[in-house]
């Protein structure tokens, strides 16, 4: 850690800062230049808090040398992490193709969509049973009945499943059904939820909060990792900007950015990022070209009747066409997509 003092510190100020550092059990190294005075602090930076140092009178800036996230960082784990979930590999050149409706609405609708996306080459089935809706009067999801339907569909069509958990009190229930937890954008910093999910050994798909930086996202991943759950998949789903012709703004630069900082896989969700079926294919292709580890897309067989996010759903045939393109791109990029048993694409 490096401490920069305000210009022209008095000898008393310098002495006080040095004493505070020593009192905290660290060794200070003073460097006095013509215009600035800086103090290097040697010791285990993990044990040093920035804020108490920042509060010392005469201190202008405290600059940590290490990243605040450890387990999520490339320093901790140089190789890209690869997770295998029921035969589907994610990360390190293997793409997760997650598809399904926004919400689980009924067995017949989910089974119809599941079969179509699987045949198109999707390898993970999604569907929400607990929905984080902006309005309390909108469809809130089928709850446990929905989880049962999703699990049955996953078994029927040979796909691992992913579903959202919104509250720490739901973790015990959802873990009994799902193969992957989804933590939604609105809950990315629900730290109690992150800790509960971290205590399980079920992988987590962690969506970026609508105004979260890459550092915020990695700090949230760290919460899960720190509890011992080492299978965290990051997801870019767009952030809030001034642009209002799309639902959110897809920040594709986070793909190489997060990959440089972290070993965790990162997937792209162009459905929630754009909110527009006419834009989803181009953004999905761009995600693969940017080097992401998977694409998450909402598909519905009858979007006009969907109970949630119908306007952004792709029709099954549109998804199938896109998957053909994504497979070609993946090949050019030297990446593989694990398809489900019995599927020929
Ligand atoms: C969803 O996946 O349906 C969802 C609510 O996503 P997000 O948390 O990214 O808005
Ligand atoms: Mn949705």
CB 229 within 8 A of CB 202: yes
List CB contacts of 233: < 8 A, sequence separation 6 or more. 83, 90, 91, 96, 180, 203, 204, 205, 206, 264, 265, 266, 267, 293, 294
**Where does ligand 1 bind, in terms of residues with CB under 6 Å?**
102, 128, 132, 184-186, 207, 237, 272
Alpha carbon distance 248, 238 (integer Å): 5
- Cα(22) to ligand 2 centroid in Å equals 52
What is the structure's pLDDT at 111? 98
Tokens of residue 183, six digits: 């933590």
Tokens of residue 187, six digits: 């809950």
Using a pLDDT cut of 90, give the percent of the chain over it.
86
For residue 126, the SS3 value is strand
DSSP single-letter state for residue 162: E
What is the structure's pLDDT at 34? 81
- For residue 66, pLDDT over 80 is answered with yes
Alpha carbon distance 174, 163 (integer Å): 8
List CB contacts of 10: < 8 A, sequence separation 6 or more. 58
Per-residue pLDDT tens digits for 239-249: 999 999 999 99
Residues linked to residue 28 through DSSP beta bridges, in sequence order: 41
- For residue 228, pLDDT over 90 is answered with yes
Name which of 304, 288, 302 is nearest 121 in CA terms.
288
102, 165, 190: residue to mutate for ligand 1 pocket, most atoms within 8 A of CB? 102
| Segment 324-338 mean pLDDT | 97
Per-residue pLDDT tens digits for 90-119: 999 999 999 999 999 999 999 999 999 999
Q: Please, what are the domains in the chain?
A: 2-63 (3.30.70.1140), 83-337 (3.20.20.70)
What is the structure's pLDDT at 191? 98
- Which residue is closest in CA terms to ligand 1's atom 8? 184
List CB contacts of 4: < 8 A, sequence separation 6 or more. 36, 37, 38, 59, 60, 61, 62, 63
For residue 125, the SS3 value is strand
Per-residue pLDDT tens digits for 21-46: 999 888 888 888 888 899 988 877 77
- For residue 161, pLDDT over 90 is answered with yes
Q: Among 29-38, 67-76, 219-228, name the most confident range.
A: 219-228
- Cα(224) to ligand 2 centroid in Å equals 23
- Cα(104) to ligand 2 centroid in Å equals 11
Name which of 292, 279, 249, 272 is nearest 90 in CA terms.
292
Per-residue pLDDT tens digits for 181-194: 999 999 999 999 99
* Residue 72 or residue 24, greater confidence: 72
What is the structure's pLDDT at 87? 96
Residues measured by CB to lie within 5 Å of ligand 2, the ion? 102, 309
Taking the complete model, does pTM exceed 0.85, yes or no?
Answer: yes
């Amino acid at each position: 850690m490096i401490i920069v003092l305000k210009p022209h510190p008095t000898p008393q100020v310098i002495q006080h800062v040095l004493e505070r550092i020593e009192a905290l059990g660290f060794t200070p190294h003073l460097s006095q230049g013509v215009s600035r005075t800086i103090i290097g602090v040697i010791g285990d930076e993990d044990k040093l808090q920035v804020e108490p140092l920042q509060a010392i009178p005469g201190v202008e800036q405290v600059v940590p040398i290490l990243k605040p996230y450890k387990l999520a960082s490339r320093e901790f784990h140089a190789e890209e992490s690869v997770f295998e979930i029921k035969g589907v590999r994610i990360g390190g050149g293997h793409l997760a193709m997650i598809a399904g409706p926004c919400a689980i609405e009924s067995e017949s609708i989910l089974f119809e969509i599941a079969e179509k996306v699987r045949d198109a080459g999707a390898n993970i089935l999604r569907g929400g049973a607990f929905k984080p809706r902006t309005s309390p009067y909108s469809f809130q999801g089928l709850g446990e009945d929905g989880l049962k339907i999703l699990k049955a569909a996953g078994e029927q069509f040979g796909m691992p499943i992913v579903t959202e958990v919104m509250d720490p009190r739901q973790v015990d229930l959802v873990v009994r059904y799902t193969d992957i937890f989804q933590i939604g954008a609105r809950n990315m910093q629900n730290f109690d939820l992150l800790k509960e999910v971290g205590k399980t050994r079920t992988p987590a798909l962690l969506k970026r909060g609508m105004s979260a930086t890459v550092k915020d996202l990695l700090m949230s991943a760290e919460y899960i990792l720190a509890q011992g759950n080492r299978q965290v998949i990051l997801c870019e789903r767009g952030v809030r900007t001034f642009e209002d012709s799309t639902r959110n703004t897809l920040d594709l630069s986070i793909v190489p950015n997060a990959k440089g900082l972290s070993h965790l896989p990162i997937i792209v969700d162009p459905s929630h990022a754009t909110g527009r079926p006419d834009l989803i294919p181009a953004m999905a292709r761009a995600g693969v070209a940017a080097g992401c580890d998977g694409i998450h897309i909402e598909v519905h067989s009858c979007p006009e009747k969907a109970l949630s996010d119908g306007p952004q759903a792709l029709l099954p045939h549109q998804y199938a066409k896109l998957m053909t393109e994504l497979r070609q791109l993946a090949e050019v990029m030297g990446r593989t997509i694990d398809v489900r048993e019995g599927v020929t694409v």
